[in-house]
Amino acid sequence: AQSVTQLGSHVSVSEGALVLLRCNYSSSVPPYLFWYVQYPNQGLQLLLKYTSAATLVKGINGFEAEFKKSETSFHLTKPSAHMSDAAEYFCAVSDYGGATNKLIFGTGTLLAVQP
Amino acid sequence: EAGVAQSPRYKIIEKRQSVAFWCNPISGHATLYWYQQILGQGPKLLIQFQNNGVVDDSQLPKDRFSAERLKGVDSTLKIQPAKLEDSAVYLCASSPPGTGNTEAFFGQGTRLTVV
């Protein structure tokens, strides 16, 4: 069965500092991986996705993630945090090859950005 | 392009009452998902439809939850009777035809509070 683990339920950074949100996956087949962001009282919005093309994936709002098979990781980064980045971030793996294509989410990381 | 529409946005009910949520997916999206997001957790898939057929309802508590997607477009999710532990945000999502690399587009969710 596929799963994702997000290390750190809360991360706090200063404005302008590097953002690093960690995600490790478990999958017996090549995974499709996603990062979603959720602002308060909103649904989830896709930041970026990895679909077995380039291992470095660029997303919206200056975020990017690198797929590292050897480390089974798909960490999300942003060089310089902005106050508007404060939100909850979810890593997800797709049930690739299954009939459902359902997304399996991690428990989320709440990002706080300090002025 | 209009997004996934959900209503109501908020609902407060007493335990043992019934409640229904409505979702209208993005036009042309054959796949529709209902996710349950309990506070502090990642979304968990309750049921997935492909057109008007159920693809996956393995995590739907069928003794109290039901869902339908008549005509393969909009969908309703019902809880009867509600329990305190059903307090959560119920997210509807839809996706176009694909095989795992296609992201899901989420609505804003319905926040249910059971008292």
Tens of pLDDT along B43-58? Answer: 999 999 988 899 899 9
Question: Is A99–B42 a contact, with Cβ atoms under 8 angstroms apart?
Answer: no
Question: Is B100–A46 a contact, with Cβ atoms under 8 angstroms apart?
Answer: no
Looking at the DSSP assignment, which residues form a beta bridge with residue B32? B49, B94
Closest CB to A42: pick one of B33, B104, B108: B108
Per-residue pLDDT band for B89 (boundaries 50, 70, 90) equals very high
For residue B70, report the phi and psi dihedrals to the nearest 5 degrees: -70, 140
Of residues A58, A18, A99, the one with CA closest to residue B58: A99
For residue A76, report the phi and psi dihedrals to the nearest 5 degrees: -100, 135
Q: Give the three-class secondary structure for A111.
A: strand
Instruction: Compute the distance between CA of residue B6 and CA of residue B29 in angstroms, rounded to an integer.
Output: 15
**How is residue A8 written in tokens?**
């750190």
Instruction: Compute the distance between CA of residue B96 and CA of residue B27 in angstroms, rounded to an integer.
Output: 9
Residues 92-111 of A with CB under 8 A from B: 92, 94-108
The nearest alpha carbon in chain B to A47 belongs to: B103
Chain B contact present for A112, CB below 8 A: no
Give the residue-averaged pLDDT of B10-29. Answer: 96
Poorest-confidence range of A64-73, A96-105, B10-19, B38-47? A96-105
Chain B closest-CA separation from residue A36 CA (Å): 10
Determine the distance from the C-alpha atom of residue A57 to the mean position of all C-alpha atoms in its chain, rounded to a whole number. 11
| Beta carbons of A6 and A22 less than 8 angstroms apart | yes
Task: Sort out which chain B residues have CB atoms less than 8 A from A104's CB and list them.
Answer: 45
The nearest alpha carbon in chain A to B109 belongs to: A43
Assess whether pLDDT exceeds 80 at residue B100: no
The nearest alpha carbon in chain A to B111 belongs to: A41
Chain B closest-CA separation from residue A115 CA (Å): 25
Residues 6+ apart with CB under 8 A from B61: none
User: Across chain A, what does the average pLDDT equal?
Assistant: 91
The nearest alpha carbon in chain B to A106 belongs to: B42
Residues B32, B102, A93, A36, Cα dihedral to 10°: -80
| Beta carbons of B93 and B108 less than 8 angstroms apart | no
Q: What is the pLDDT of residues A69-109, one digit of tens each?
A: 999 999 999 999 999 999 999 999 986 655 567 889 999 99
Instruction: Compute the distance between CA of residue A84 and CA of residue A107 in angstroms, rounded to an integer.
Output: 21
Residues 6+ apart with CB under 8 A from A33: A4, A23, A25, A49, A50, A65, A67, A74, A91, A92, A93, A94
Task: Sort out which chain A residues have CB atoms less than 8 A from B48's CB and list them.
Answer: 100, 102
The identity of residue A100, as a single letter, is T
Question: Is B45–A102 a contact, with Cβ atoms under 8 angstroms apart?
Answer: yes
Percentage of chain A lying above the pLDDT 70 cut: 95
Determine the distance from the C-alpha atom of residue A50 to the mean position of all C-alpha atoms in its chain, rounded to a whole number. 10
